[in-house]
Amino acid sequence: LQLKNTHINYGATAKFFHWAVALLVIGLLALGTYMTWIEFSPFKLELYGIHKSFGTLVFILALLRVVWRWVNPKPEALQTHKKWEKKLAHYTHILLYVFLFAMPLSGWLMTSAAAFPHHFFGFFNVPALTGKDESLFKLMRNVHELSSYGLAAIIALHFAGAMKHHIMDRDLTLKRMMPQRPMLLLAVLLFVCTGLVVANNYNAAQNATADNANAVVVREDAPVQSNEVAVQENAAGAVPAWEIIKEDSNVSFTATVQGTAFDGGFERFDGEIQFDPENLAASRADIKIDLASVKSGSSERDEYMVAPAWFNTESFPESQFLATEFQKIDENQYVAVGDLRIKDTSMPVSLPFTLTIETDEAGNNIANMQGELTIERLDYGLGEGQWGDLSTVANEVLIRVSVKARQVEGAGI
């Protein structure tokens, strides 16, 4: 077996790189087109994961191929090739390499800029090349799409050239690149690809199980429908009311897709708070969140989140946290107990939080509150139908509430 090239022939290594990359790239062009065309679903996300892994594999093979080309003699063009043919072939090969690198690099940058998951067949996380940047994401998505047309056109030209030499000129151009046992190469590639796809799915399932096992869920009992929720009336007292200072407050969350966490938040929310650390029994908070104001740094993902399978904002525009019971557990540490309603489901939850109250220069009492709790999205019907599959989107969602509020009325504290 001749591994290295000679001045007249390609060795087995160059042939392997050529055909492995060719088959993978053609497969990726087809997979990329198909996966972007189908509807949003866990299957689509799975295909994206597989596409990214194989795309990264092509990048590695392309790098190795360039190194191999560099340390090896390049077989000379056949004597029978005309001058224009040599020139055209030369530029075609340069463009093939340009697109071969442009495709995975733009893909990698696109995924990095969107902070989307990128695991190499589930074996390890591929590091992001940049921070989150939606305009870079959009730019790289266009580059990726346009390069895919360029690559397909250049492959077609390359293929046409090979066919011309083989069928019309009947020379050795194609024959000297053919592997000695093409069927063996095909079988090995198919076997390796199937193994990698299986490993990808196996690792995804393992990660999902680990995610679920690690989660700490602060909640109680079974879900109750919202119309059955009894709103507890507190003893009315002179409890101060607080006005939320919106620009210094936020409601955010962390969810996990394909083992990678992403953060989101809500731009619009409001609430009525009556709170007195000395009169917890009469304290109460009613926070309402406009779910359509969700922002996660990806406008595309935001659109999916408001769709019927998730928040379904058309039917359920608002989510509500109604806290009717407060407990002090330590200095500045409290727990708010109440009901969290999302869509048509209301569940009892406990929100542990820290609270400090200070007086600002104008003499106003300013409260700073920070708390977080984990919910299980399926309890609230978040992710209906095939989205119930927890290996794609983890069940646990961490919710963080950070509120700065000014006391507006009631007894001084």
Nearer to ligand HEM, 156 or 238 (CB): 156
Length of the chain: 413
Nearer to ligand HEM, 322 or 393 (CB): 393
Nearer to ligand HEM, 16 or 59 (CB): 59
The binding track of 35-54 with respect to ligand HEM, each residue x by CB under 6 A or -, is -x-----------x--xx--
CA 50 to chain centre: 13
Under the criterion CB under 6 A, does residue 130 sit at the interface with ligand HEM? no
Name the DSSP class of 380.
Answer: G
Under the criterion CB under 6 A, does residue 193 sit at the interface with ligand HEM? no
Least Å distance, CB 36 to ligand HEM, is 4
Under the criterion CB under 6 A, does residue 299 sit at the interface with ligand HEM? no
The DSSP secondary structure of 338-379, one letter per residue, reads: EEEEETTEEEEEEEEEEEEEEE-TTS-EEEEEEEEEEEEGGG
Nearer to ligand HEM, 59 or 334 (CB): 59
Backbone angles phi, psi at 389, to 5 degrees: -65, 115
Least Å distance, CB 176 to ligand HEM, is 25
Element (H, E) at 294: strand 294-295
Q: Which stretch binds ligand HEM (CB under 6 A): 139-147, 191-199, 240-248, 393-401?
A: 139-147
Phi-psi sector, 410: left (phi>0), alpha (psi -120 to 50), beta: left
Q: How many residues bind ligand HEM (CB under 6 A)?
A: 25
Choose which of 111, 200, 203, 392 interacts with ligand HEM (CB under 6 A). 111
d(CA 357, CA 363): 12
Sign of CA dihedral 54, 58, 61, 63: negative
Any idea which residue has 């198919």 for tokens?
Answer: 190
Decide if 264 contacts 253 (C-beta within 8 A). Answer: yes
Under the criterion CB under 6 A, does residue 145 sit at the interface with ligand HEM? yes
d(CA 40, CA 318): 24
Q: Which stretch binds ligand HEM (CB under 6 A): 9-17, 69-77, 140-148, 230-238?
A: 140-148
How many Cα atoms within 13 Å fall on the side-chain side of residue 118? 20
Least Å distance, CB 127 to ligand HEM, is 11
β-bridge mates for residue 355, sequence order: 369
Backbone angles phi, psi at 263, to 5 degrees: -105, 145
Choose which of 14, 20, 28, 287 interacts with ligand HEM (CB under 6 A). 28
Residues 61-100 touching ligand HEM, rule: CB under 6 A, are: none
β-bridge mates for residue 368, sequence order: 356, 404
Q: Which stretch binds ligand HEM (CB under 6 A): 28-36, 258-266, 306-314, 329-337?
A: 28-36
- Residues lying near ligand HEM in the complex (CB under 6 A): 25, 28-29, 32-33, 36, 48, 51-52, 55-56, 58-59, 103-104, 107-108, 110-111, 118, 141, 144-145, 148, 151
